[in-house]
C-alpha cells in the first residue's frame, strides 16, 4: 500500500497539524481551552480526513468530468464547516473562526488535490 492511500498516514497528519493549529489559535485563552480545542480539532480532522478520503475513492468511478472535480471539494467544505462549527461551539472553543479557518481551507484543498491526483494518476 502506498503512503498516498494509507488511511493512518492521512488521519495522523490531520490530527497533528490541525490539532496543533487549534491550540495555537486559542493560545491566548486560559488552559485548558487551547488543549481542549486542539484535541477536539485533531480528532475531528482525523475523522473528517478518513471520511473524505473514503468518499472520494468511492465516487471516483461514478462521477466524471467537471462534476467529478467540483463536487467532492464542495461537499468537503460544507461538511467541514458545519460539523466543525457545531462541535466547537458545543465544547466552548473560544476562537471558533480562527480555529476553523485553516482546517476548512486545508480540508477543502486536500479534497481537491487528492481527488485530482486520483483522477489523473498513471
What single DSSP character describes residue 3?
G
Residue with cell 463536487: 71
pLDDT band at 59 (very low <50, low <70, confident <90, very high): confident
Task: Tell me the whole-structure pTM to 2 decimals.
Answer: 0.81
pLDDT value of position 1:
52
Distance, CA of 31 to CA of 23 (rounded, Å):
10
Amino acid at each position: 500500500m502506498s503512503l498516498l492511500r494509507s488511511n493512518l498516514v492521512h488521519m495522523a497528519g490531520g490530527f497533528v497539524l490541525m490539532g496543533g493549529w487549534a491550540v495555537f489559535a486559542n493560545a491566548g485563552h486560559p488552559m485548558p481551552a487551547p488543549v481542549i480545542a486542539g484535541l477536539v480539532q485533531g480528532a475531528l480532522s482525523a475523522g473528517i480526513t478518513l471520511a473524505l478520503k473514503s468518499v472520494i475513492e468511492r465516487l471516483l468511478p461514478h462521477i466524471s468530468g467537471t462534476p467529478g472535480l467540483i463536487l467532492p471539494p464542495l461537499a468537503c467544505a460544507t461538511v467541514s464547516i458545519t460539523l466543525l462549527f457545531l462541535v466547537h461551539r458545543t465544547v466552548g472553543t473560544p476562537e471558533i473562526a480562527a480555529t476553523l479557518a485553516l482546517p476548512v481551507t486545508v480540508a477543502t484543498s486536500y479534497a481537491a488535490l487528492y481527488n485530482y491526483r486520483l483522477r489523473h494518476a498513471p
